[in-house]
Homo-oligomer: A and B are copies of this chain.
Amino acid sequence: MKKEKNQAYCAVDFAFQRIGGKYRGRILWYLNAHKVLRYGELKRLLQGITTKMLTQTLRELEQDGMVNRKVYLEVPPKVEYSLTSASLELIPLINELREWADRQIIARTISGEKIPC
């Protein structure tokens, strides 16, 4: 049976369905920073992600029109991922989210916490 993403109740939900989840945000972020990334490069950047989750997340992003997947018919195989026009529009927003988060983290880091990356 096909997995149906349950209907969003409103636009806010629709947006979060597309950028939420454990890795989506970072994948989009890395793809923007590097413009084009191969599967293995993404895997290295995402440090510790399993092939299952990476593949699954990339396929979902692709279905949502958030990434382009370009397959080169070579041996060994080569697949490149990049942002689409839709996800590119999102980058400035994700960047602002990141800056907001940075400010929050700094405000709390007086007590010692530190967050890498």
Q: Which A residues form the contact surface with B (CB < 8 A)?
A: 7-16, 18-21, 25-26, 29, 47, 65, 86, 89-90, 93-94, 96-105, 115-117
Contacts and interface: CB of A to CB of B under 8 A. Distances in A.
Given A90-B100, A93-B93, A115 B14 contact: yes
Contact of A14 (B11, B14, B18, B104): B104
- Say whether chain A's binding surface is mostly helix, strand, loop, or mixed: helix
A40 B62 CA distance: 39
Nearest to A103: B89
Quickly give the copy total for this chain. 2
Contact of A9 (B9, B65, B117): B117
Given A16-B19, A115-B10, A86 B98 contact: no
A25 B13 contact: yes
Nearest to A93: B96
Contact of A117 (B10, B25, B103): B10
Given A19-B97, A93-B97, 7 more contacts: A7-B115, A9-B47, A11-B99, A12-B98, A13-B25, A18-B104, A20-B20
